[in-house]
Structure 1
Amino acid sequence: MLLRSLNSYAITHGGDVDDAVTVGDVVLSRSDLLGAATSVAERIMGVDRVAVLAEPTARTVVAVVGALIAGVAVVPVPPDSGPTEIEHILADSGARGWLGVAPEHDGGLPAVPVRMHARSWHSYAEPSDDATGLVLYTSGTTGPPKGVILSRGALAAGIDALAEAWGWTVNDTLVHGLPLYHVHGLVLGVLGPLRLGSRVIHTVKPSAERYAAARGTMYFGVPTVWSRVAADPESAAALSHARLLISGSAPLPVPVFEKIAALTGLEPIERYGMSETLITLSTRADGERRPGWVGVPLRGIETRLRGEDGSEVPRDGESIGSLEVRGRFFDGYLNKPEATAACWTEDGWFRTGDVAAIDPAGFHRIVGRESTDLIKTGGYRVGAGEVETAILGVPGVREVAVVGLPDDDLGQRIVAFVVGDEVEPRSVIDSVAQQLSVHKRPREVRVVDALPRNGMGKVRKNLLE
């Protein structure tokens, strides 16, 4: 049962009990949420899929929960999507209409209103674990976004594995301000609390000040958020009461990890996952936390590394290879059987497309995407992440992205795009050469005003050239 805590509440309680969900200034008790969401479910029962404009509002939460109660698959749509992207998502997903607010470019589909004060206490049978819960669209950096089909059972298993690793219980209050159309903000940040029974406070915007004002025990953020917190010592100090500070969606720079730890007394939890697999790796609440490493496999997950020739890569903490994982994952890309098949090995492992190193204790370090972060230069294989970590230690550097650009002599030359104050390119090159092997130094450093990022804060390296 995916929404376990709400279903349990419906059986055992009556009346308003707690502030289960807070989004900005709107507070919903479990009774509020269950009653409003069940009212939504009554009006869409029997529909296959609905689109939800995933604005950071309580209405979005009610819409998603209502659809899940009805057994209707939810297609979250980023609120900043342009007409072309919306048209693609609607056509590809087969969504029958909008649930809640529809965007200006609504694709000609009808909208079913979400009435926040409506209430229904009808009880519906729980759909099977194999039923589709969400269709999440990827960021589309290498082509049109693909619809990732996630079953209710996979969502539940992923949340439960994190609960075990993080010691996440009904006594926690989760705070975050992340988008509600991806795994991080929606699955972990909303469905997680509703499954486990903990409270959630969504700050609408993930600012350091808003995080500091919310008295939570767990905080979610992407590296950009934690960089802002690290730059605001007063707000950072206000988080020292928390139990866990959790970073994901992109690598957390080591200097930010160290500054957060110094200001709060808490070493951040880092984790790794994908829309297709949910979260597969994490440092544990009761275990070691290393800057630059994303921990060990969650319960039910297996991992392995493979070289270019398919051979096994040793787990020595240094050798890098293609990361493959095995567990209960997505049910494929919607309408794309060939793309789905290409993701899997013949013996049933999912190809993540990421490059990693694993140490003898099972700790994982993600080097980056195989397509953009594995640089083949002068006969060497260099991970962009390792070079980026070294550059972030150079005084004045705030952000960096390292890519391999075509080179007639080297195959690819290492180029660093740096955001910072009074950064001297020569000093960056020399610093890396002193910290790492000489062949890993950038051949070129370009100082830029900003790095191109997507809605989750990930750098879009395909735009750097």
Structure 2
Amino acid sequence: MDLLGGTGGPVRIAGRGLEREALLGWAAAVAKEIAGADAVAVHATASLETAAAVVGGLLAGVPVVPLPPDSGSDERAHILGDSGAGLLLAARAEAPPSGPPLLPVDELPRDGSFSAPEPPADATALILYTSGTTGAPKGVLVARGAIAAGLDGLAEAWAWTPDDVLVHGLPLFHVHGLVLGLLGPLRVGSPLVHTGRPRPEAYAAAAREDGGSLFFGVPTVWSRTAGDPASAEALRGARLLVSGSAPLPVPVFERLAALTGHEPVERYGMTETLITISARAGGERRPGHVGTPLPGVETRLAAEDGGDVPHDGETPGELHVRGPLLFKGYLNRAEATAASFTADGWFRTGDIAAIGPDGWHRIVGRASTDLIKSGGYRIGAGEIENALLAHPGVREAAVVGTPHADLGEQVTAYVVADGVGERQLIDFVAARLSVHKRPRVVHLVGSLPRNAMGKVVKTRLGEP
């Protein structure tokens, strides 16, 4: 199936640009070299080499394994060994010191040609590795048809057309930056301006100089943009600001809307599901909510005993998803694949959500870290984090449940703040939410641990 569409605009990454046809010629040269391989790894820096390598894999019908460029030796060895990648694609000077044989992408011609039958829709396009928070990273098999369906659904939801200029600076080894941020504009036909890193001033420059109309960012990016009024002001001419990969704090949503004139569109997805839920370009945006399912996607909530959860906007349950965007399974892990689906075919996301009577979804958090069971109450960490972030002295906040002899778990907050103390913050939350939701302990810290996508790694909270 043709993932890349027809004609389209140029691609610029970290200041280097190519017209679409030149990129496809370079990718064709890659495809010629790797044709017939079982899988290839790509040292996925923010570069044109990464773009050519990934597109080359798609042309050749060879599964691509994006390798985070900052991965440590153990993580890299696990991904390469588990995936069975027989080649490593990278610029020669940037290649990691160990791994399979190197194909230096930067030394291949830019005017190659390659012809092969179009792979079927169920062929694996990407093997994306999870973050490994519950063990060694697992390889997620993503089919070509799932990518096409997901991108077409988002193009409809966001009114994304070739007339847009997409701007972002996200890593090219995750769904957000790679599938949405690179394959998306290639399929839709819109130009891409990748800023190298997602800095507010770089987004502002792309808005002024490149006519950026569609901007992708994670909450950290938008928080920093909201803290830089001059850069935020430059985005007033944009058409759409999209936030994903983690919940956008309500205070950031509100400040960004005030400074840019745009209420951001939020959406929800996972490596295993791609993007399944989103607000719409032409519709309402609700702070703290991620919208409604994309066409063809179904969702439901399940209680801990497997029973149904009412769609009342308040009662939380585990979010289950099914539809054409789901992954094929975990590589070499049949038991893990089977365990991730219900008997009637729904994927268990592991995320806790609430769904309103009108179908709008609110993500409470991960079942493992964001649902706190305290004194008989089920408390969502995100609601408390938003309450803390509403305090003018608070810059960052993360909330988890920690063991408590009487309550089972207590609400514990880690906060980056200026000029405010623990008791003040506890009272601040208690005055805004139910008293049982107040933090019983607040740790004032200098920073929160985050991964490459800007998500707080809650399992590392409390580390020295």
TM-score tier after normalising by the smaller chain length? over 0.9
Give the aligned residue type for 2:87.
Answer: G
Residue 67 (str. 1) matches residue 57 (str. 2): yes
Q: Deviations over 1:161-207 (max 9, x none)?
A: 11111111111110000000000000000001111111111000110
State the distance in 1 between where 2:115 and 2:19 align: 18
Contact in 2 for aligned 1:59/1:116 (Cα 8 Å): no
Which of 263, 269, 289 is the aligned partner of 1:267? Answer: 263
Residue 50 (str. 1) matches residue 50 (str. 2): no
Q: Could you tell me how far 1:461 is from its partner in structure 2?
A: 0.6
Which secondary structure state, in structure 2, belongs to the residue aligned with residue 188 of structure 1? helix
Residue 126 (str. 1) matches residue 102 (str. 2): no
Which of 206, 219, 224 is the aligned partner of 1:223? Answer: 219
Aligned equivalent of 1:185: 177
Aligned equivalent of 2:100: 109
Contact in 1 for aligned 2:314/2:355 (Cα 8 Å): yes
Which of 370, 380, 383 is the aligned partner of 2:377? Answer: 380
Which secondary structure state, in structure 2, belongs to the residue aligned with residue 344 of structure 1? coil
State the distance in 2 between where 1:374 and 1:228 align: 27
Residue 170 (str. 1) matches residue 162 (str. 2): yes
Which of 440, 452, 455 is the aligned partner of 1:458? Answer: 455
Gaps of 5+ in 2: none
Q: Could you tell me how far 1:3 is from its partner in structure 2?
A: 2.8
Q: Deviations over 1:56-110 (max 9, x none)?
A: 0011100111111011110000000000000000110000010123766554410
Contact in 2 for aligned 1:19/1:28 (Cα 8 Å): no
Residue correspondence of structure 1 range 91-110 to structure 2 within 5 A: 91-101=81-91, 105-110=96-101
Aligned equivalent of 2:242: 246
Q: Deviations over 1:336-393 (max 9, x none)?
A: 1111111100111110000011111100000000000000001111000111111111
Aligned equivalent of 2:127: 135
State the distance in 2 between where 1:443 and 1:387 align: 12
Aligned equivalent of 2:190: 198
State the distance in 2 between where 1:100 and 1:45 align: 17
Which secondary structure state, in structure 2, belongs to the residue aligned with residue 458 of structure 1? coil
State the distance in 1 between where 2:343 and 2:134 align: 24
Contact in 2 for aligned 1:55/1:79 (Cα 8 Å): yes
Aligned equivalent of 1:12: none
Alignment RMSD, CA only? 1.2
Residue 32 (str. 1) matches residue 28 (str. 2): no
Q: Could you tell me how far 1:116 is from its partner in structure 2?
A: 5.6
Residue 398 (str. 1) matches residue 395 (str. 2): yes
State the distance in 1 between where 2:9 and 2:343 align: 48
Call closer, same or farther: CA 1:108–1:316 in 2, change over 3 Å.
Answer: closer
State the distance in 1 between where 2:438 and 2:72 align: 39
Call closer, same or farther: CA 1:440–1:46 in 2, change over 3 Å.
Answer: same
Equivalent residue pairs, number? 455
Aligned equivalent of 2:433: 436
Give the aligned residue type for 2:435.
Answer: V
Which of 258, 261, 276 is the aligned partner of 2:272? Answer: 276
State the distance in 1 between where 2:12 and 2:216 align: 15
Give the aligned residue type for 1:228.
Answer: R
Aligned equivalent of 1:343: 340
Which secondary structure state, in structure 1, belongs to the residue aligned with residue 236 of structure 2? coil
Q: Deviations over 1:301-356 (max 9, x none)?
A: 11111111111111111111111111121000101111111110011111000001
Contact in 1 for aligned 2:394/2:418 (Cα 8 Å): yes
TM score, norm. by length of structure 2:
0.96
Contact in 2 for aligned 1:23/1:201 (Cα 8 Å): yes
Aligned equivalent of 1:15: none
Residue 158 (str. 1) matches residue 150 (str. 2): yes
Call closer, same or farther: CA 1:299–1:162 in 2, change over 3 Å.
Answer: same
Which secondary structure state, in structure 2, belongs to the residue aligned with residue 435 of structure 1? coil
Contact in 2 for aligned 1:166/1:284 (Cα 8 Å): yes
State the distance in 2 between where 1:106 and 1:49 align: 20
